[in-house]
Structure 1
């Protein structure tokens, strides 16, 4: 067997024992570099090339031992602290939909089949979440710019020609109407992670270009009244800027300018953006009158799901849900600190910011402290698009966590004691 083929055969035999294929390329490069270094050192000490190769292979150790060590060190990891609260919140959300359909005074929920529809979306979302956990999220990086362009084109078509549902344009695909505006913050978080991973915010031209890309979706949505989506986009962009090392002044300048119009709309026309007037209807009043006057809340299964849970199950249930989702958000920001590349950090931070903002806005609306409508409680509120999107996001986050060590294959992983 040739000299080079001896190294190649050794490396291939090691990799055959490593089940996690994501690390194969990195390990091949690391072992090859290690072998070539030892071979060069041996030849400098006077050994022939063949002797140097044999010595290098001997120092690396038995193929089975090294392969098993690396297989154990690089097993795919599942972040149970991330997935368990998602499963718990989803199960409780499905239970609430069941209760709404079969045990509430809202007869319209029976006609809408909220339980069956929710179950279908949860199942679809779970399948996509598992698929994306297996999928290598890094493959999305090369399509970041294309993803942004396609998102902006579809958003423009939706705003200009979409079918309005409760005043918000939906993408009209014939028999199917999609709330693409609700999808936009998630798609932007994924696209911006690749676009801004090495962005130079100190460069004036780059800064203006970056602000332009981030401002475009906000400008497109100004005429739609979808203030919740606008706020989510602003928060996502701010998170992306912070993680991509923009200065605090630059972040404040962008967020402040982008927030002027939405803020004025909320202050001047709160009734236009509310499903009920939070100044006159408090949670206590909702609890006392929900059964008698079901029409009091027109969107109890979406925007006001927490208010309904309070009425039906009490404060303990509401606090449990808030605690679950709060723990999930804290865990996501913890994961942000543990990942290595800027692409990973921006991706996790952007998606984490969406979940956190959704929860905060939803709480404010349900507590009567905000007139903002169209805010879904993550994994809880009825709606196919947001449930599927949230499950997809969790799948991507699990994929990031699974592969977070790919940039950290240390030399020590490859060292085997001379006794072996």
Structure 2
């Protein structure tokens, strides 16, 4: 038996020596050893000796070099190049656009702001590279820890908030970071690993909805009603991925709408503010002043751009942040703006199509979730800048000035590349226990 084990081990080692993706070595060795053992047993049943059956099994399975070469092609780690190229173009154009604002409107964007943009871009890129090299499947093992730590920290921040432009944030290197958005993304990633594991447990529906309800409650008490709506959308995606019955999904949608409705309409100020927002095209109140400014800038834009206007830069709030796409339309023209929009749509379509090629269920769900997050960010920002919706706090990924958004979105791209690079790894790193559904 010792000779048999050493021979099979030697063969599997030779195969794995040609496979650069080390994360799959263990699985391949186990699969090959099991296959060799089955073939050996067949030869023994036909009358061969143990040693002869061992040699015949190795000979039957084929040349170790060819097998290793073929498997290396299957499990070769490569990033999702289409996504990487398009996002790199966005980052480069975003830095160029922010530089044009910095050079022509120092009151809008100071030297320190632009340096922060560069630093956060470099930091986000380094984190993205680290995320790509990191085996994303390990995140699943720490889903519960991510969930509890995120909500505990968020609860502390809600209890001691820094309210800046109605966004809950903290001061970090002089910049305001949107913690509510961070909580949404981290909780979504955590629940992506938690909810499917609760499918076959007692009271699974109650447990799943309770975990989501806690997140919604914390965001709600921070007065981030838009973020509540955003997380509710992601929650529906998470529930669908966890194969929950449609009636519970409908109930979740109804509950979310009821909660938002109750929160908005029980306070007179919020009620009138909501009416103003919904009537943004015909309302001239201060709440909708930015929508009026957007409309005026878009109306003055042309096909090939008007060039840089220091007047518009100086008199338009958040021109380098939430209104960056409006600035691009006016300055560089509709040709550039529509080219960007086409690239955005191509990026999103490619992401959703690529998600189908991910074999690992957790990875496919996470890939789809991140695709939805990016889709909401991009499309919401475009709709805002085209004056199709009331003004809300939204940043166009990689283009608008938002250090937090830059780091987070580059990290998400790194995770996407990590998942795609391991798209043929179907095995989960989390051991599941069979539980009876009562």
User: What does residue 38 of structure 1 align with?
Assistant: 39
Distance 1:305 1:177, change over 3 A: closer
Distance 1:324 1:233, change over 3 A: same
- Root-mean-square deviation (CA, aligned residues, Å) is 2.6
1:297-333 per-position Cα deviation (integer Å, ceiling 9, x unaligned): 3211111111111111111222122222222211221
Distance 1:84 1:35, change over 3 A: same
Alignment of 1:322-337 (within 5 A): 322-337=341-356
TM-score by length of 1: 0.88
User: What does residue 248 of structure 1 align with?
Assistant: 246
User: What does residue 230 of structure 2 align with?
Assistant: 232
Q: Are positions 1:284 and 2:296 aligned together?
A: yes
User: What does residue 374 of structure 1 align with?
Assistant: 393
Distance 1:310 1:248, change over 3 A: same
Task: Provide structure 2 residue ranges, at least 5 long, that are not aligned to the other structure.
Answer: 279-285, 302-308, 428-438
Distance 1:253 1:372, change over 3 A: farther
1:361-392 per-position Cα deviation (integer Å, ceiling 9, x unaligned): 21222122322421111221111111111111
Contact 1:158 1:172 in 2 (8 A): no
1:208-231 per-position Cα deviation (integer Å, ceiling 9, x unaligned): 221121122222222434334223
My pick for the range that moved more, 352-361 or 192-201, is 192-201
Q: Distance in 2 between matches of 1:348 and 1:149?
A: 22
Q: Distance in 1 between matches of 2:28 and 2:334?
A: 52
- The 3-state SS of whatever aligns with 1:76 is coil
Distance 1:205 1:372, change over 3 A: farther
User: Which of 326, 329, 342 is the matching residue for 2:361?
Assistant: 342
Per-residue deviation at 1:393?
Answer: 0.8
User: What does residue 215 of structure 2 align with?
Assistant: 217
Task: Provide structure 1 residue ranges, at least 5 long, that are not aligned to the other structure.
Answer: 409-420
Contact 2:236 2:249 in 1 (8 A): yes
User: What does residue 20 of structure 1 align with?
Assistant: 21
Per-residue deviation at 1:65?
Answer: 2.7
Contact 2:169 2:176 in 1 (8 A): yes
Contact 2:384 2:390 in 1 (8 A): yes
1:241-276 per-position Cα deviation (integer Å, ceiling 9, x unaligned): 112222333223212322345464786414689874
User: What does residue 66 of structure 1 align with?
Assistant: 67
Q: Distance in 1 between matches of 2:360 and 2:195?
A: 12
- The 3-state SS of whatever aligns with 1:298 is coil
Q: Distance in 1 between matches of 2:223 and 2:394?
A: 13
User: Which of 248, 269, 273 is the matching residue for 1:269?
Assistant: 273
Q: Are positions 1:300 and 2:298 aligned together?
A: no
Per-residue deviation at 1:340?
Answer: 2.4
User: Which of 203, 206, 220 is the matching residue for 1:205?
Assistant: 203
Q: Distance in 2 between matches of 1:299 and 1:226?
A: 19
User: What does residue 53 of structure 2 align with?
Assistant: 52
Contact 1:214 1:237 in 2 (8 A): yes
Contact 1:286 1:307 in 2 (8 A): yes
Give the aligned length.
405
Q: Are positions 1:358 and 2:377 aligned together?
A: yes
- The 3-state SS of whatever aligns with 2:168 is strand
Q: Distance in 2 between matches of 1:321 and 1:174?
A: 31
- The 3-state SS of whatever aligns with 1:2 is helix
1:47-67 per-position Cα deviation (integer Å, ceiling 9, x unaligned): 111111111112223332322
Alignment of 1:176-187 (within 5 A): 178-187=177-186
Distance 1:4 1:282, change over 3 A: closer
- The 3-state SS of whatever aligns with 2:322 is coil
Per-residue deviation at 1:142?
Answer: 0.8
Alignment of 1:73-152 (within 5 A): 73-103=74-104, 106-111=105-110, 113-152=112-151
Q: Distance in 2 between matches of 1:310 and 1:18?
A: 49
